[in-house]
Amino acid sequence: MAHTKISIRNMNFFYGQKQVIHALSMDVYEHQILALLGPANSGITTLLRGMNRLCDLIVEARLEGEILLDGQDIFHPEVGVTQLRRRVAMVFDIPTPLPLTVFDNVAYGLKLQGGKSKAEIQETVERAIRMAALWDDVKDRLDESALSLSGGQQQRLCIARALALDPEVILLDRPCASLDPISTAKIEESLHTLKESYTVVIAPHSVQQAARVSDRVAFILMGELIEIAPNKEIFANPQDQRTSDYITGRFG
């Protein structure tokens, strides 16, 4: 049995009066890729944003229940929210380079922490870019604007930027939603290497992507967890009719 990295217990989430996640409980195992599958507006983005408390930024939002990271409640006052976000990094659904150079984008999180030497930062940045399979593309362009990269390169840059934090968990919210098939393939490829060092939670942009990249799949519909199971089981033998309908393309 794999080690439980994140444990979500009875999570309810509200935007004002509207409830978008209903009594959701599930575990995320270490060094695995968990795919959160479901149609749009199922609360998957909200769920991801709950795991690193980005949802704190939304004024009318309210979260009930517990989210445990290595057994510790991430909403406990002793857990610093910036510390948490370094441990649980996020990649967004559209490429979001900051208006900085390629290098400064990846170094952003490191520089915020302070106390790192230039050489250390340089080394970490290079390692992160290599892990995101972007080094050959940008090694001569580190001083150029990150906005000059192509969409696929920008998204890998965002992954490198998250990796540079040396996180434990990486959350990917439809990371290939705006990318072409070749860029998508490159990112999926790097996911397989990433899970050796990290725990990955991904909201895939298609059923096929979930099938290709994940170890386990959670099917979520209208903010409810319908079922969660290992990849092979859920695609071969879904327990719930709705899961079956969704993965066979009958709706969604």
Partner 1 sequence: MSPHVRRQERLAKGVIWMAAVSVMATLVFIILYILSRGLPVISWSFLTEIPRSMGRLGGISSTIVGSLAVTVVAIVIAVPFGIGTAIYLAEYTRESFITKIIRFSAESLAGIPSIVFGLFGFIFFVIFLNLGWSILSGGLTLAFMILPTVIRTSEEAIRGVPYILREVSYSLGANKWQTVSRVVLPSAMRGIVNGVLLSIGRCVAETAAVMLTAGSTLRMPDSLFAPARTMAVHFYILAREGISLENAYGTAALLILVIFAINVGANILLDRFMTKGR
By CB under 8 A, name the binding residues for partner 1. 52, 54, 57, 59, 82-83, 85-86, 89-90, 92, 94, 96, 98-101, 104, 108-109, 112-113, 143, 145-147, 158, 161-162, 165
Residues 6+ apart with CB under 8 A from 109: 86, 161, 164, 165
Burial of 3 (0-12, 13-18, 19+ CB in 10 A): exposed
Query: Smallest gap, in angstroms, from Cβ of residue 243 to partner 1?
Result: 30
Kindly tell me which of 4 and 96 has the beta carbon lying closer to partner 1: 96
Kindly tell me which of 56 and 215 has the beta carbon lying closer to partner 1: 56
Residues 6+ apart with CB under 8 A from 193: 131
Query: Smallest gap, in angstroms, from Cβ of residue 92 to partner 1?
Result: 7
Kindly tell me which of 93 and 215 has the beta carbon lying closer to partner 1: 93
Kindly tell me which of 23 and 94 has the beta carbon lying closer to partner 1: 94
Let me know: does 182 contact 153? Beta carbons within 8 Å: no
Let me know: does 90 contact 168? Beta carbons within 8 Å: no
Query: Smallest gap, in angstroms, from Cβ of residue 45 to partner 1?
Result: 11
Tokens of 64: 């009930």
In 3D, which of 212, 219, 213 has the Cα closest to residue 234? 219
> Can you tell me which residue has the tokens 């298609």?
206
Kindly tell me which of 96 and 122 has the beta carbon lying closer to partner 1: 96
Query: Smallest gap, in angstroms, from Cβ of residue 78 to partner 1?
Result: 17
Query: Smallest gap, in angstroms, from Cβ of residue 84 to partner 1?
Result: 9
Identity at 126, one-letter amino acid code: E
